[in-house]
Chain A
Amino acid sequence: MDEEIKVERSSAVVVCRCEHLTWDAIEEAMAMFQPTSLRQLKLVTRWGMGICQGRMCRPIMAAFEQREENASLGALAVRPPFKPVSLGTLGRMGEDA
Chain B
Amino acid sequence: MAPQVIVIGAGVIGSACAYYLSQAGASVTLIDQGDVGSGTSSRCDGNVLAIDKEPGYDSLMALMSQRLLHELASVLPPFEYRRPGSYLVCDNDEEAKAAWDWVGQQQEAGLPFWYLDRAAIHSHLPHLASDVPAGLYCGSDSTLNPLLYTQRLVQAAKQHGCQVRVHQAVTEIVVNRGAVAGVRLADGTVLVADVVVVAAGVWSPRLLQPLGVTVPIQPRKGHLLVSAKGPLFGDAKVMEFGYLMSKFGRERQAPEDALRYGVALVYEPTESHNFLLGSSRELGVWDTAPKWDVVQAIGRRALRFYPGMQQATLIRSYAGLRPWTPDHLPVVSRVSDIAGLVIAAGHEGDGIGLASVTGHLVCDLTLERPPIIDPRPLRWDRPALTSWKDGGADG
A and B physically associate: yes
A→B interface (CB under 8 Å): 18-19, 32-33, 35-37, 39-40, 43-44, 46, 49-51, 53, 79-81, 84-88, 90-91, 93-94
Closest 9 CB pairs of A and B: A88-B310, A43-B147, A90-B299, A51-B228, A91-B300, A40-B35, A84-B313, A87-B309, A84-B315
B→A interface (CB under 8 Å): 35-38, 42, 147-148, 151, 155, 166-167, 226, 228-229, 272, 274, 290, 292, 295-296, 299-300, 302-303, 309-318
Interface centre among A36, A37, A43, A51 (most CB of B within 10 A): A43
B167 touches A36 (CB 8 A): yes
Closest to A81 in B: B314
From the candidates B148, B151, B302, B317, name the one contacting A81 in the complex (CB within 8 A).
B317
From the candidates A35, A40, A53, A87, name the one contacting B302 in the complex (CB within 8 A).
A87
Residues on A with beta carbons closer than 8 Å to the beta carbon of B167: 36
* Chain A binding surface, main DSSP class: loop
Interface centre among A35, A51, A53 (most CB of B within 10 A): A51
From the candidates B290, B313, B316, name the one contacting A49 in the complex (CB within 8 A).
B316
Residues on A with beta carbons closer than 8 Å to the beta carbon of B166: 36
Interface centre among B36, B38, B226, B302 (most CB of A within 10 A): B36
Given known pairs A36-B35, A86-B310, A88-B303, the reply for A79 and B318 (CB within 8 Å) is yes
A43 touches B314 (CB 8 A): no
A95 to chain B minimum Cβ distance, whole angstroms, is: 10
Given known pairs A33-B151, A79-B290, the reply for A84 and B37 (CB within 8 Å) is no
Residues on A with beta carbons closer than 8 Å to the beta carbon of B315: 50-51, 53, 81, 84
B305 to chain A minimum Cβ distance, whole angstroms, is: 12
Beyond A80-B292, A80-B317, A86-B314, 15 extra complex contacts between A and B, CB < 8 Å: A36-B35, A39-B38, A44-B147, A46-B272, A49-B274, A50-B315, A53-B316, A79-B290, A84-B228, A84-B313, A86-B310, A87-B299, A87-B303, A87-B313, A88-B309
Interface centre among A50, A86, A90 (most CB of B within 10 A): A90
B334 to chain A minimum Cβ distance, whole angstroms, is: 32
> Mind listing 20 A-B residue pairs with CB under 8 Å?
A18-B229, A36-B36, A37-B35, A39-B35, A43-B148, A43-B151, A49-B316, A80-B290, A80-B292, A84-B313, A84-B315, A85-B314, A86-B310, A86-B314, A87-B302, A87-B303, A90-B295, A91-B296, A91-B300, A91-B303
Residues on B with beta carbons closer than 8 Å to the beta carbon of A84: 228, 313-315
How many residue pairs bridge A and B at CB < 8 Å? 90
A40 touches B290 (CB 8 A): no
* Chain B binding surface, main DSSP class: mixed
- Bound Cα distance A93, B295 (Å): 11
From the candidates A33, A40, A44, A80, name the one contacting B295 in the complex (CB within 8 A).
A80
B232 to chain A minimum Cβ distance, whole angstroms, is: 14
A35 touches B296 (CB 8 A): no
- Bound Cα distance A19, B316 (Å): 15
Closest to A44 in B: B151
From the candidates A32, A37, A51, name the one contacting B229 in the complex (CB within 8 A).
A51
- Bound Cα distance A58, B262 (Å): 35
- Bound Cα distance A91, B35 (Å): 35
Closest to B300 in A: A91
From the candidates B38, B148, B313, name the one contacting A86 in the complex (CB within 8 A).
B313
A12 to chain B minimum Cβ distance, whole angstroms, is: 21
A79 touches B311 (CB 8 A): no
- Bound Cα distance A39, B151 (Å): 13
B316 touches A79 (CB 8 A): yes
Closest to A83 in B: B315
